[in-house]
Amino acid sequence: MQHRFPKSVNPYRQEVLRKLVNDVLRETDDAAERFESFADFCADTGEGRRLRREAERMVEITAEATGHFHSGFKRLHPEIAWRDIYAMRNAISHEYGDIDVKELWETVTLDFPELAAFLREVSIPEAIHPEDY
């Protein structure tokens, strides 16, 4: 027997997604405040390496969280580069040090604010309600 949730959204699932969205917003907001100078970000100094590691971790957290969003929801919003987010996470996790610094910078300073704005506008239940797709 296959169980289907009723049209009303499962409250537990909704709370999980709300936490994931909040995780993404925390990371994207932190990035907007943290990364101010591309020169400092690229510098071959302890501070530059620390900034890049912070950015990499933010991308990993964001990718893991958005990876739990419903696939139908992602299809409805192709303006967000969902696959690119996860691809960058994979590159960071598996290519150790071969990350394009400019691409990482653009992700956390340009793409993250767009993702944050999108998530602030979207309806949370919309992201988890598979019967609507």
Q: Is 119 exposed, middle or buried (0-12, 13-18, 19+ CB in 10 A)?
A: buried
Q: How far apart are CA 7 and CA 95, in angstroms?
A: 42
Per annotation, catalytic residue among 3, 4, 83, 94: 94
Active site includes 89? yes
Place of tokens 């996470």: 89
For residues 127 and 68, is the Cβ–Cβ distance under 8 A?
A: no
Residues marked active site are found at: 89, 94
